[in-house]
């Protein structure tokens, strides 16, 4: 029995991050202040955006983006069920109802043709997802959005450093290509501050609204008041919320942004080793990277090949028995207990007719199949060659001949 343990993810935080946190502690200014401002400028530069606004996490970033674009009670947002449940939850938090479209087998993101079927007279926005950092079909989705006059919010929670081919050039996700992109800084993502989120946009007015609404719509940030030598009073312009990121968190993110290119390069090299090995596996198939996409491989989704091989649970148990962590494919909101209540969501202007209460929708066959035929393998920057070899050995031991003799 192998005593080797390979986790799915290990956050890569070192001395620079520890020193950054200590610097903030010693400075005496620990919440949203100069470190958040510097982090925002560096984040904007890293993804090629004009404006970046930091908040407490990506879930509130999505909610804030949707609300600022006018989404509220009685509205619908066309999105995907095949995502971390935060995507659907952000829609519900605005008071609107998600309308789920099915996804594409390669991008795991919204299928532009399916999106058309999810649009209704109540649709107020489109929320697409760059799932696991794999760019979704922005070109197709934006074509539909433009035709219908709908704003697009990109759930880019996992996608920092991923790129798309856009008008002849490679551009990072987050420019953004829609109206707003929202990133996560959770430890499962490529850059982490413990928790955190960032909204990017090219619209100065939107960026201004995000800054206002993340801090109780207060007219003057406390950094400004703190440094003023004249007495004045701030005003609170409308009911809002506290979605602040802290300076402690932002400082920890800065060294990671500074080495982002190397992080992405390392992850792509690890993915290339998996691609090559899985191309030879009779049990697992590698994900396909489309010619217009360059993925940061926030996660590595292997696919069970069709046929009579061992099933998802058997493969995961086989890996676990050899000390290798893995995870089931991306979940579907409509199959979670929270969304069993059929009125919380729908699948189009005239629903498919399946009751939905049983966690099944006739319009989402790919979403449902992908969850049960995909397997996330360990991939993280800082992963050693030995660790990856341990995963590959366990995968090789899935081959029928080897299985019989072991
Ligand atoms: C992680 C994730 C989120 C939520 O991010 P938080 O920062 O944890 O709120 C949203 N959408 C997707 C696709 C995610 O993977």
Q: What length is written for the chain?
A: 406
To test ligand 1's pocket by mutation, which of 61, 64, 87 has the most ligand atoms within 8 angstroms of CB? 87
Could you tell me the CATH number of the domain that includes residue 163? 3.40.640.10
pLDDT at site 359: 85
SS (H, E, C) the chain: CCCCCECCCCCCCCHHHHHHHHHHHHHCCCECCHHHHHHHHHHHHHHCCCEEEEECCHHHHHHHHHHHCCCCCCCEEEEECECCCHHHHHHHHCCCEEEEECECCCCCCECHHHHHHHCCCCEEEEEEECHHHCCCCHHHHHHHHHHHCCCEEEECCCCCCCEEEECCEEEECCCCCCCEEEEECCCCCCCCCCCCEEEEECCHHHHHHHHHHCECCECCCHHHHHHCCCCCCCCECCCCCECCCEHHHHHHHHHHHHCHHHHHHHHHHHHHHHHHHHHCCCCEECCCCCCCEECCCCCEEEEECCCCCCCHHHHHHHHHHCCECCEECCCEHHHCHHHCCHHHCECCCCCCCCCCCCCCCCCCHHHHHHHHHEEEECCCCCCCHHHHHHHHHHHHCCCHHHHHHC
**Per annotation, catalytic residue among 130, 179, 189, 209:** 189
To test ligand 1's pocket by mutation, which of 157, 367, 376 has the most ligand atoms within 8 angstroms of CB? 157
Could you tell me the CATH number of the domain that includes residue 301? 3.90.1150.10
Measuring from atom 2 of ligand 1, which residue has the nearest CA? Answer: 157
Claim to verify: residue 92 and residue 229 sit in the same structural domain: yes
pLDDT at site 11: 87
Residue 177 within a domain: yes
Claim to verify: residue 273 and residue 233 sit in the same structural domain: no
Residue 10 within a domain: no
Claim to verify: residue 74 and residue 98 sit in the same structural domain: yes
Residue 3 within a domain: no
Q: What separation in Å is there between the alpha carbon of 310 and the centre of ligand 1?
A: 31
Q: What separation in Å is there between the alpha carbon of 297 and the centre of ligand 1?
A: 15
**Atom in ligand 1 nearest the alpha carbon of residue 90:** 10
Residue 405 within a domain: no
**Atom in ligand 1 nearest the alpha carbon of residue 185:** 7
Domain count, the chain: 2
**Atom in ligand 1 nearest the alpha carbon of residue 298:** 15
To test ligand 1's pocket by mutation, which of 77, 155, 327 has the most ligand atoms within 8 angstroms of CB? 155
> Where does ligand 1 bind, in terms of residues with CB under 6 Å?
57-59, 83-84, 86-87, 129, 155, 157-158, 184, 186, 197
Claim to verify: residue 208 and residue 106 sit in the same structural domain: yes
Claim to verify: residue 288 and residue 335 sit in the same structural domain: yes
**Atom in ligand 1 nearest the alpha carbon of residue 57:** 7
pTM to 2 decimals? 0.96
Residue 83 within a domain: yes
189 is catalytic: yes
**Atom in ligand 1 nearest the alpha carbon of residue 83:** 13
Residue 268 within a domain: yes
Q: What separation in Å is there between the alpha carbon of 404 and the centre of ligand 1?
A: 41
Domain boundary among 189, 224, 258: 258
Claim to verify: residue 160 and residue 57 sit in the same structural domain: yes
Claim to verify: residue 282 and residue 235 sit in the same structural domain: no
Measuring from atom 6 of ligand 1, which residue has the nearest CA? Answer: 58
Claim to verify: residue 90 and residue 150 sit in the same structural domain: yes
Q: What separation in Å is there between the alpha carbon of 229 and the centre of ligand 1?
A: 41
Residue 6 within a domain: no
Residue 57 within a domain: yes
pLDDT at site 224: 81
Domain boundary among 195, 223, 258: 258
Claim to verify: residue 209 and residue 290 sit in the same structural domain: no
Claim to verify: residue 40 and residue 139 sit in the same structural domain: yes
Q: What separation in Å is there between the alpha carbon of 92 and the centre of ligand 1?
A: 15
Mean pLDDT by 10 residues, the chain (406 residues): 75 95 96 96 98 98 98 98 98 98 98 97 98 98 98 98 97 98 98 98 98 94 82 92 98 98 98 98 96 98 86 96 97 94 88 85 96 97 96 95 57
pLDDT at site 12: 86
Claim to verify: residue 276 and residue 135 sit in the same structural domain: no
Domain boundary among 258, 279, 300: 258
Q: What separation in Å is there between the alpha carbon of 231 and the centre of ligand 1?
A: 41
Claim to verify: residue 110 and residue 187 sit in the same structural domain: yes
Alpha-carbon dihedral 34, 36, 41, 43, rounded to 10 degrees: 150
Range(s) of the domain holding residue 100: 15-258
């Amino acid at each position: 029995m192998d005593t080797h343990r390979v986790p799915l993810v290990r956050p890569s935080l070192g001395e620079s991050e520890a020193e950054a946190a200590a610097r903030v502690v010693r400075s005496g200014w620990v919440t949203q202040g100069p470190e958040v401002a510097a982090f925002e400028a560096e984040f904007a530069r890293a993804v090629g955006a004009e404006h970046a606004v930091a908040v407490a996490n990506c879930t509130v970033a999505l909610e804030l983006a949707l609300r600022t674009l006018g989404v509220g009670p009685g509205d619908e947002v066309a999105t995907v069920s095949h995502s971390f449940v935060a995507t659907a939850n952000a829609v519900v938090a605005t008071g609107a109802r998600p309308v789920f479209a099915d996804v594409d087998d390669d991008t795991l993101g919204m299928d532009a043709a399916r999106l058309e079927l999810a649009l209704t007279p109540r649709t107020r926005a489109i929320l697409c997802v760059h799932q696991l950092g794999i760019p979704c079909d922005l070109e197709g989705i934006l074509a539909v959005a433009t035709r219908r006059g709908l704003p697009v919010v990109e759930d880019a929670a996992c996608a920092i450093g991923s790129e798309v081919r856009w008008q002849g050039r490679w551009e990072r996700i987050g420019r953004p290509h829609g109206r707003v992109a929202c990133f996560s800084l959770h430890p499962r993502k490529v850059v982490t501050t413990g928790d955190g989120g960032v909204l990017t946009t090219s619209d100065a007015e939107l960026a201004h609204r995000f800054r206002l609404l993340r801090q109780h719509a207060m007219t003057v940030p406390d950094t400004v008041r703190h440094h003023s030598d004249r007495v004045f009073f701030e005003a609170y312009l409308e009911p809002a919320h506290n979605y602040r990121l802290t300076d402690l968190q932002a400082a920890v993110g800065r060294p990671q942004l500074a080495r982002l290119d190397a992080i992405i390069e390392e992850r792509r090299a690890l993915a290339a080793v998996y691609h090559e090995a899985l191309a030879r596996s009779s049990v697992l198939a590698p994900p396909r990277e489309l010619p217009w996409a360059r993925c940061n491989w926030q996660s590595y989704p292997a696919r069970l090949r069709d046929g009579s091989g061992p099933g998802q649970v058997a493969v995961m148990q086989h890996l676990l028995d050899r000390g290798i962590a893995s995870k089931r494919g991306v979940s579907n909101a409509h199959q979670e207990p929270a969304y069993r209540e059929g009125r919380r969501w729908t699948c189009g202007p005239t629903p498919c007719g399946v009751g939905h209460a049983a966690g099944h929708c006739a319009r989402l066959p790919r979403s449902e199949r992908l969850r049960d035929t995909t397997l996330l393998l360990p991939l993280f920057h800082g992963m050693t060659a030995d660790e990856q070899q341990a995963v590959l050995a366990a995968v090789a031991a899935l081959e029928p001949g080897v299985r019989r003799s072991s």
